Amino acid sequence: MKVEIRISSACYLCGLCIESCPTRVFQLLGDHLKVDQDSCIYCRGCEILCPAKAINLRLLDEELTISRRKTLISIK
Ligand code: SF4
Ligand code: SF4
C-alpha cells in the first residue's frame, strides 16, 4: 500500500497523531513532524483526529487501480 501524507502549515505540533498512529508513522523532530509514509496502513485515524485538519492522505495504489480500470475499459 502506498500512501502520500501531507502535513500543512496549520499543524501546531499538538502530538495527537504521534500518540494515536498504530504504526508510528509520525515522530517529532525538533520543530516539525517526521513522516514515515511507508509504514502507513491508511486507517485514516490521524486525518479524523487532527484538531487543525492539517493531515491530508492520498491512497496512491487505489488511484493506480482506478486508472488501470479506465484504461482497460477504453481498450474494450
Ligand atoms: S494532530 Fe495535527 S496538529 Fe497535531 S501534531 Fe499531528 S498534524 Fe500537527
Ligand atoms: S492513516 Fe493511520 S496508519 Fe496512516 S499515518 Fe494516519 S493514523 Fe497512522
7-53: pLDDT as tens digits:
999 999 999 999 999 999 999 999 999 999 999 999 999 999 999 99
Report whether residue 50 contacts ligand 1, using a CB cutoff of 6 Å. yes
Which residue's alpha carbon is at the smallest distance from atom 8 of ligand 2?
21
Instruction: Provide the whole-model pTM.
Output: 0.84
Atom of ligand 1 nearest to the CA of 49: 1
Ligand minimally distant from the alpha carbon of residue 17: 1
Decide if pLDDT at 65 tops 70.
no
Range of the domain at 7: 3-75
Ligand 2 pocket (Cβ < 6 Å) reads 5, 21-23, 25, 40-46, 57
3-class secondary structure for the chain?
Answer: CCEEEEECCCCCCCCHHHHHCCCCCEEEECCEEEECHHHCCCCCHHHHHCCCCCEEEEEHHHHHHHHHHHHHHHHC
Ligand minimally distant from the alpha carbon of residue 33: 1
Give the domain CATH number at 11.
3.30.70.20
Q: How confident is the model at residue 64 (pLDDT cuts 50, 70, 90)?
A: low
- Tally of domains in the chain: 1
